């Protein structure tokens, strides 16, 4: 079954079956000792990642690069549209054919929807979508779902019977759209969609959930949704998209999660997630920093999980899962700050 | 003889003798198993390349970096004129002295002609010219000639008796100027120079070819030049440099190579080359994508050859040719898409 | 005692005791064989440096990266404020929490004073200050002092009894401010402060020197200060900060060190230092290139020393000093140009 990933692209969450997602997660579990710096593997020593970010991104770019380094490989990188070749009229297909001659796998982020697909079709090596415009960011969805599973497992629970509140701007956020598609592969989940009506989850996603038998509840205030959830997935409320500032002002107080709101409305141990970055400027603060020390705040564990998910995807598409644990070396350097 | 390269700069094709070129090519042949991911060498483990691109370039920069990684070395990089040191009035010589203290070899691209030479004179480590303004780009010329040899060899032929058509803007293209200088080292080549008269090859290059006994023919239409050639080297016609748009319009149709033109005028197996990037915008298309599946289209093999040529140059100037094949490791990861 | 560095940040020279500085220097001495490419160590194989330069810098950034590579580690890098996360309102603390999940140690440069401190407080891994605005650049001060010690040692002398002239803009130069704080840890040094009165060393630093019993002399002309010094530390005179161009013109001739001035005023073997970059444009030239071949010109040895100092700091904060010399490999490539 793992062989099915060898040489394959990952362009969209829509390509992923339940079985495929579970494979990624089981491989990700095996990557934890490396990401936590307990052991060193060199399975990809000599391999090269082309980390091609035609749109700037620090977090996702560095996370992919680290994941490849942790498997022993090297990273060659492009940041932004410095590429004068594209400016000189080179087609995306030509760029793909040339760059895929230099590396063993390519991660690509591009500001245009569909650009990563076109690039992948011409590439001679596997391509992982690092985000194409507002369309897809499949590794974010995978790390979100992986985080949900680990947080549940830490409480002795599986995904079955999960009650998740998705809160904020559910209309435009691609992270939410991709996550609900992955959750829809699993049985019997209860969704609490907390948003102003203007920013509700697009009907196509909600209908897909209902048609698979999930229970879906809509809320336009915080309290009932929070109270019913095991996990709250907070997103940035993009107030600039509201029809008017007055309209936005109506919901402003309702869509902030902070210590007081959490204590009043959430059950103990309710897990808090956020795809990050969160907006910490006064007037935004959809997830207040006064919760930073709370043990149920999973947002930095969530970011950390990006590394093991990306390691798993590299190991799968380069077909080295069976060799990762061979020839291990111990970590000899200080790692005191890394282990929770 | 290989010792003659140790510690040497490569700044210009004019430094290269026939013997030196042949040495580079024979070393490049030995690099193919690594570039094709059949074996891993770590001969340069611990060495550092300073990949200093003071002018942006994705393709050449990544190609040099990959070549060094494939020999086991690490790459430190600079992209663009971010260097505030130069802005603060630091001389190029000071920059060279400092940066050469950090690395074992430096690749430098710079927008000003002659800048790489000045940099090299002050550097304590070997410097490879990655392109200095419109003047020199010697690794491009070497990979072009290497491609010609491999494409000829695949047909059972040597360089002797080669008939090559150079087509497009022969006046300003530095790739063409460097390539004809290298070809001039070999005996008995027939050149077909296809260009509008305004964009003819500068007389100095043409006379050098004639004085060495080569046969040179000029054409201002496509058909006769294509018909007489074993290899067609297409370049972008820089129409913006024509005296007038009307003048440019006269040649526009004549200087496009596509499937129909190829079928009508070229002999079967005529090899098609292009230094890339090609201009794929409507109105340009000097080399049409309808030839992309043609087995004689060598342009992506040509780009791939950049890696082995650059590996060879690193191995020569760092004097590790004899050690490259020691302590080889097998490639354990998926490489299905890389082998033709 | 070395254990005291494990897991620690380095944010300011003010944190450093005499004992700590001497520890860094003794570890730096052990790094010389690696920096001079006599041996290869792989002690940090598998470790990742997050080289986060939120303000561009070629020299310092590449020096840190090379130092980490020379210990066998990998480098992931950010250059400039490309980070859209910060633009989207992410706090520096969130950025630190996320990025410190990706790497084993972080070097950070930031244009705002105090930003590196805030970053470090939230980071889960050690942070080395790569320069925060005009405030601190502690690794520069350490490499400067290390250079002074090595140059003295080459003449059979210790720091004791050192007479140092600091020349140029002593008011705004952070390199000078940090260096005098480190020198203040040592006994019995004689300081000759050569500057126009308007650019004198701020009183707080001068008083600190006097209170520890050092002898301090001020000069507003070059000759007496140069004559009394064993080492001259030249800095760029920032003429644009003078009250008027006429005022600046008064000192212009006095604050240039060149071959003629050196021969006339300096004792033989007086060591010349400069934090670099020096301004080589006509009208500036505080340190003339006609001294470039002089054996007492230490400025490029000084830049080279940045590598061993940074290697020492990495080895200390990651607690691998005892393992660096294990499993050494010989250098097999050409290094002829690197050894003086």
pLDDT for res C70: 98
Residues linked to residue C77 through DSSP beta bridges, in sequence order: C51
Token reading at A95 = 């760029």
Between B and C, how many residue pairs show a Cβ–Cβ distance under 8 A? 116
Residues B45 and B143 in one domain: no
Of A323, A335, A309, nearest to A27 (Cα)? A309
Tokens 């982020």 belong to A109
Task: Flag whether A337 is in a domain.
Answer: no
Mean pLDDT along residues B112-126:
95
Residues C122 and C199 in one domain: no
| Weakest-pLDDT range from A314-323, B29-38, C327-336 | C327-336
pLDDT for res A1: 39
C111 touches chain B (CB under 8 A): no
Residue C219 has pLDDT above 90, yes or no: yes
Residues C22 and C58 in one domain: yes
Domain that holds residue B222: 139-300
Residue B253 has pLDDT above 70, yes or no: no
Q: 3-class secondary structure for chain C?
A: CHHHHCCCCECCHHHCCHHHHHHHHHHHHHHHHHHCCCEECCCCCCCEEEEEECCCCCHHHHHHHHHHHHCCCEEEEEECCCCHHHHCCCCHHHHHHHHCCCCCEEEEEECCCCHHHHHHHHCCCCEEEEEECCCECHHHHHHHHHHHHHHHHHCCCCCCCCEEEEECCCCCCHHHHHHHHHHCCCCCCEEEEECCHHHCCCHHHHHHHHHCCCEEEEECCHHHHHHCCCEEEECCCCHHHCCCHHHHHHHHCCCCECHHHHHHHCCCCCEEECCCCCCCCCCCCCECHHHCCCCCECHHHHHHHHHHHHHHHHHHHCCCHHHCCCCCEECCCCCCCCCC
pLDDT for res A318: 97
Q: In Å, how far is A43's CA from the nearest CA of chain C?
A: 11
Mutation target among C235, C277, C293 for the B interface, most CBs of B within 10 A: C277
Q: Say how far apart CA B225 and CA B192 lie, in whole Å.
A: 6
In this prediction the pTM is 0.95
pLDDT for res B336: 84
φ/ψ of B289, rounded to 5, equals -70, -5
pLDDT for res A157: 95
Q: What is the pLDDT of residues A48-80, one digit of tens each?
A: 999 999 988 889 999 999 999 999 999 999 988
Residue A250 has pLDDT above 80, yes or no: no
Residue B99 has pLDDT above 50, yes or no: yes
Task: Flag whether A336 is in a domain.
Answer: no
Helix axes C115-122, C92-99, angle to 10 degrees: 50
Q: What is the pLDDT of residues B175-218, one digit of tens each?
A: 899 999 999 999 999 999 999 888 899 999 999 999 999 999 99
Best-predicted range by mean pLDDT among B129-133, B288-292, C84-88? B288-292
Residue C67 has pLDDT above 80, yes or no: yes
Mean pLDDT along residues B122-149:
94
Residues C209 and C170 in one domain: yes
| Weakest-pLDDT range from B17-21, B309-313, C246-250, C284-288 | C246-250
Residues 37-56 in A contacting C (C-alpha not used; CB under 8 Å): 37, 40-42, 56
Residue A194 has pLDDT above 90, yes or no: yes
Task: Flag whether C286 is in a domain.
Answer: yes
Smallest CA–CA distance from B71 into chain C, residue: C333
Q: How far is CA A4 from the centre of its chain?
A: 22
Where residue C27 sits, what CATH number does that domain have?
3.40.50.1370
Of A288, A289, A296, A249, nearest to A270 (Cα)? A296
Mean pLDDT along residues B64-74:
98
Q: Say how far apart CA C154 and CA C296 lie, in whole Å.
A: 11
Residues C106 and C197 in one domain: no
A57 touches chain C (CB under 8 A): yes
- Name the band, by pLDDT with cuts 50, 70 and 90, for residue A174: confident
- Name the band, by pLDDT with cuts 50, 70 and 90, for residue A210: very high
Mean pLDDT along residues A214-231:
96
Q: Hey, which bits of A61-167 come out as E strands?
A: 74-79, 105-110, 127-132, 163-167
Residues A192 and A124 in one domain: no
Residue C237 has pLDDT above 90, yes or no: no
Task: Flag whether C340 is in a domain.
Answer: no
Q: What is the pLDDT of residues A266-309, one digit of tens each?
A: 999 999 999 998 988 877 789 999 999 999 999 999 999 999 99
Q: Say how far apart CA A279 and CA B146 lie, in whole Å.
A: 54
Mutation target among A55, A277, A329 for the C interface, most CBs of C within 10 A: A277
Mean pLDDT along residues A161-186:
93
Residues B287 and B326 in one domain: no
Nearest to A300 among C97, C104, C317 (CB): C97
**What is the ipTM for the molecules in this complex?**
0.94
- Neighbouring chains to A with at least 3 Cβ pairs closer than 8 Å: B, C
Of B329, B99, B336, B118, nearest to A124 (Cα)? B336
| Average pLDDT of the residues of chain C | 92
Residues A87 and A113 in one domain: yes
pLDDT for res B19: 96
Q: Hey, which bits of B249-315 come out as E strands?
A: 271-273
User: Is B238 in contact with B169 (CB distance < 8 Å)?
Assistant: yes
Q: What is the pLDDT of residues A123-137, one digit of tens each?
A: 999 999 999 887 889
| Average pLDDT of the residues of chain B | 92
User: Is C307 in contact with C314 (CB distance < 8 Å)?
Assistant: no
Task: Flag whether C336 is in a domain.
Answer: no
Residues B123 and B244 in one domain: no
pLDDT for res B74: 98
- Which position has the higher pLDDT, C226 or B337? C226
Q: What is the largest CA-CA distance in chain C?
A: 62
User: Is B95 in contact with B117 (CB distance < 8 Å)?
Assistant: no
- Name the band, by pLDDT with cuts 50, 70 and 90, for residue B283: confident
**Structurally, how many domains does chain B consist of?**
2
Residue % of chain B over a pLDDT of 70: 93
Q: In Å, how far is C211's CA from the nearest CA of chain B?
A: 36
Residue A83 has pLDDT above 60, yes or no: no
Task: Flag whether A340 is in a domain.
Answer: no
Omega before residue C277 within 30° of 0, cis? yes
Residue % of chain A over a pLDDT of 70: 92
pLDDT for res B1: 39
pLDDT for res C57: 86
Residues C146 and C101 in one domain: no
Mutation target among B49, B51, B80, B98 for the C interface, most CBs of C within 10 A: B98
Of C156, C88, C95, nearest to C127 (Cα)? C95
Residues C91 and C28 in one domain: yes
Residue C158 has pLDDT above 70, yes or no: yes
Distances, alpha carbon C160 to alpha carbons A132, C153, C308, in Å: 62, 11, 23
pLDDT for res B239: 63
User: Is C84 in contact with A80 (CB distance < 8 Å)?
Assistant: no
Helix count and strand count (H, E) for chain B: 12, 11
- Provide the pairing of β-strand B127-132 with B215-219: unpaired
Task: Flag whether C315 is in a domain.
Answer: yes
Residues linked to residue A192 through DSSP beta bridges, in sequence order: A165, A217
User: Is B261 in contact with B294 (CB distance < 8 Å)?
Assistant: no
Residues B41 and B158 in one domain: no
pLDDT for res C55: 86
Between A and C, how many residue pairs show a Cβ–Cβ distance under 8 A? 114
pLDDT for res B121: 96
- Name the band, by pLDDT with cuts 50, 70 and 90, for residue B295: very high
Task: Flag whether A338 is in a domain.
Answer: no
Contact yes or no for C319 and A304 at CB 8 A: no
User: A286 CB contacts (<8 Å, ≥6 apart)?
Assistant: A168, A234, A235, A236, A237, A255, A256, A257, A274, A278, A279
- Which position has the higher pLDDT, A99 or A81? A99
Mean pLDDT along residues B80-88:
64
| Average pLDDT of the residues of chain A | 92
């Amino acid at each position: 079954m793992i062989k099915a990933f060898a040489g394959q692209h990952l362009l969209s969450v829509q390509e992923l079956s339940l079985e495929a997602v579970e494979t990624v997660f089981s491989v990700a579990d095996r990557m934890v000792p490396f990401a936590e710096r307990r052991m060193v593997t060199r399975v990809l020593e000599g391999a090269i990642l082309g980390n091609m970010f035609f749109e700037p991104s620090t977090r996702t770019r560095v996370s992919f690069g680290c994941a490849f380094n942790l498997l022993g490989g090297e990273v060659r990188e492009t940041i932004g549209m410095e590429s004068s070749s594209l400016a000189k009229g080179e087609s995306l297909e030509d760029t793909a054919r040339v760059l895929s001659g230099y590396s063993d796998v390519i991660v690509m982020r591009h500001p245009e929807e569909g650009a990563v697909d076109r690039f992948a079709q011409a590439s001679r090596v596997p391509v992982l979508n690092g985000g194409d415009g507002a369309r897809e960011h499949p590794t974010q969805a995978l790390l979100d779902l992986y985080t949900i599973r680990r947080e549940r497992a830490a409480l002795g629970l599986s995904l079955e019977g999960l009650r998740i509140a998705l809160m904020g701007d559910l209309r435009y956020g691609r992270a939410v759209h991709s996550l609900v598609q992955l959750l829809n592969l699993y049985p019997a989940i209860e969704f609490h969609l907390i948003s102003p009506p203007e920013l509700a989850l697009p009907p196509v996603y909600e209908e897909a959930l209902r048609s698979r038998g999930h229970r879906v509840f809509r809320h336009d205030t915080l309290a009932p949704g929070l109270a019913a959830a095991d996990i709250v997935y907070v997103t940035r409320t993009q107030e600039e998209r509201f029809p008017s500032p007055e309209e936005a002002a109506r919901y402003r107080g309702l869509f902030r999660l902070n210590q007081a709101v959490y204590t009043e409305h959430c059950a103990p141990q309710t897990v808090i997630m956020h795809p990050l970055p969160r907006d910490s400027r006064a007037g935004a603060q959809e997830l207040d920093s006064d919760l930073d020390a709370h043990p149920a705040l999973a947002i930095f564990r969530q970011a950390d999980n990006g590394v093991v998910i990306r390691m798993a995807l590299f190991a799968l598409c380069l077909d080295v899962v069976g060799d990762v644990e061979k020839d291990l070396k111990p970590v000899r350097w200080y790692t005191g700050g890394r282990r929770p």
